Amino acid sequence: MVVTHECGHLIGGLLGGATLTEVDLAPWRLPYSLHSPDPLPLVTLWAGPIVGVLIPVLVAAICRRLWVWFIADFCMLANGVYLALAWISGDRFLDTPRLLAAGAPPVTIVIYCVLTMGLGYWWFRSDCARCLWSVPADPKRGNGGDCVPRGDVR
């Protein structure tokens, strides 16, 4: 989740004409990227949570395997929860306070959080149920046959 999210900030900064001053994608600490100057900070900031959801969902749609949907749905849920908790915490280095400071309308953040947390939770919960309790597969999502029902051994 954090890698695709942070890659989104990198892509957004590149597309918005920002100058990347520092980046850290090390897996053992919280990844971050700093851009200065950043002529379009809303593009840079919104690209993180948007790309952080779109890339995993597109990969899952192409692969059509439950374990890939499991990851994609977790990324969707996690991105929404991150923006919501960042808003509550108010930490000026997190994305939500930075989005608000850059002029993002609060309603856009609320809509993003409601959609990603709602769909992400529903789908992630469904993925967990399919794996843990052998719920029938959903052919539209292509997730049949790659989860071991509880009690079965492959």
Instruction: Give the range of the structural domain holding residue 24, as residue numbers without chain letter.
Output: 2-133
Say how many domains are in the chain.
Answer: 1
78 part of a folded domain = yes
82 inside domain: yes
More confident residue, 128 or 100: 100
Tokens for 4? 């695709």
Domain annotation covers residue 50: yes
pLDDT of the residue at 35: 95
Is 150 a domain residue?
no
Residue 149 resides in a domain: no
- Residue 28 domain flag: yes
| pLDDT digit string, tens, across residues 80-119 | 999 999 999 989 999 999 999 999 999 999 999 999 999 9
Strands (E), 6-63: 20-24, 32-35
> Amino acid letter at 98?
R
Write the pLDDT tens digit of every residue in 50-84: 999 999 999 999 998 888 999 999 999 999 999 99
Dump strand ranges (E) for the chain: 20-24, 32-35
Tokens of 63: 């692969």
Residue 64 within any structural domain of the chain: yes
Element (H, E) at 77: helix 66-89
* Residue 44 within a domain: yes
